[in-house]
Structure 1
Amino acid sequence: MKAIFNERQWRHDPKHFMANGVVLPSPEQPERIARLKSGAEAAGCAFAAPSDHGTGPLAAVHTPEYLVFLETIHERWRRIAGASDEVIPNIHPDRRDVSYPRSAVGQAGYHQADTACPIAEGTWEAAYWSAQSALTGADLVLGGAKAVYALSRPPGHHAFADLAGGFCFLNNAAIAAEHLRGQGLRPAILDVDVHHGNGTQGIFYARSDVLTVSIHADPVRFYPFFWGHAQERGEGAGLGCNLNLPLPRGTTDDVYLDTLGTALGRIRAFGADVIVVALGLDAHENDPFEGLALTTPGFGRIGAAIAATGLPLVIVQEGGYLSDDLSANLTSFLGGVEGG
């Protein structure tokens, strides 16, 4: 299987993460890259660098206002006397239709949903190339590849059209899906991260040309809390084109595989001719977020079930945090895809 990654994705090195009011080291560490690359190579992947598609495909999903913010905010933030090294918001509007501030502090609050997406000197460059990796994976599938793995880091599925959050800045899976749609395909996004892909849902919620499906830990007591509930089905033209399948905390392999069957049935009913897999490995039993309890062999079964659809796959990396099992989980999933 071909795999895509750019070395500039190492440049995002967040230091801070607030949980339960306590400032902790961010779990979205560059070390994830080394472990994911190792796991992919163990599955037989050969890595290549992505092509530069420019900002056009990013602007097909994200607002130009937001892209300017991501590219310029760190430099502007550092002009504030006594400011921190990382852009972290301390005020948020209560809705999206408010006036747009000129202040760097105000814009940070407008464009960053939480304290889990600090922006540092290398963040924009890393996020840009993370998206280009997903786009290049989509191009390879358009060229006839059956499955391609994009090591997209930082991840993307919590990023809305104009809002960062949950370690995510550019929505790599959404960008890849929109690129595929623009080339005449009918994409479905299947998100198997332990957290609901709220940004992906938000981007396509009123559209019927991209199906969004997410299997995740029930958000009633789990991030992202406000999105990911079963009654969220889309709106307007998109009604019925969003499927959320929340699972109880601690769900194990067999129940998960049954739920995956429901997800794949909806993808078949949609008539998708390509699947963008938003691949989170954080549903594992030993992941630090402790949402679900999948095993390493379970990821292989998931990969095989998705591959058995016979549809081409653009596999875009999302979560999966530092544990002794991270590499093996990716090897298992990609091996399942190859075997399926």
Structure 2
Amino acid sequence: MITITIQKQIQLKKRPTGVPTSEHFEFVEVPVESPAKGEILLQTIYISVDPYLRGRMNDTKSYIPPFKLNEAISSGVIGKVVESKSDLFEVGDFVIGSLGWQQFSVAKDNTVRKIDPNLAPVSAYLSVLGMTGLTAYFGLLDIGKPKAGETVVVSGAAGAVGSIVGQIAKIKGARVVGIAGSDEKVRYLLDELGFDAAINYNTQDVGSALKEACPDGIDVYFENVGGEISDTIFPLLNNFARIPVCGAISAYNNSEPDVGPRVQGYLIKTSSLMQGFTVGNYSSRFGEGAKELASWLLEGKLKYEETVTEGFENTIDAFLDLFKGANLGKAIVKVADSDK
């Protein structure tokens, strides 16, 4: 039982045009609610900040409804049960769910999932054992279908999804080339994650570097970025190449539609597959993916990195930093101590 009655919440104040800034958000004070039967009160421990949240700030139709103005922004959250009126959860349990950006939340017991803090640090359930890990797993294996000896190229390779994609491709025996935005990230891909080659798009000519790194062409391109980086891929595609399209962060803040080279000719000439997806497409198979990811993690075959921002008051800054390429691995905000 807690005695705090007022908490801070982050709301969307107005819809951004172009790159969002702090003026598009607002901190407000709201009551800490009490749980009813079948509900639990959670203290927020970690908040996930993700590029896809930018799209939800636009009032447009998409695969997920837009945020409403003057209401809490929500994303993946790790919470600790501090009061329970549910038979499914006890005080002290850790759970994951889609919850508001606030310090405490009341949730129905069928809308969150208990997680095991003994398997991995609880923050890992927002990264390698959570939606980003599952996105990498299903996008690469179901659409990319890498085979031993093939060449896999990953854009946004040092990010939350890309870093897991590259490691899974290595597990499957592929040659892996990563594209990232700094020398630090390039060294991380090569020295820590075991990529075969890595390219700094800020200091190298990506097209020339890709030709050198992929002498036998490209069999799988895992797309996280879009834009000019993506344009350099298509001339190097092998026959029957596969392109899982996970994201296009280069265009998320554009106020006008993104325009670039037409891809149809390349896809026809090489009989390549280019398929967009969201992790929600695989919700019925999350158990399968989580089990495999956990196994690889325990075997030491998967590593993960987190960029942790301390303090609820810094949540907006952590989100905005995503569009500056400031994060290595998964970007999360630590709101409170977890003891795990």
Give the alignment's TM-score, normalised by structure 1: 0.36
Q: Where is the strand percentage greater, Structure 1 or Structure 2? A: 2
Structure of higher CA gyration radius: 2
Q: Where is the helix percentage greater, Structure 1 or Structure 2? A: 1
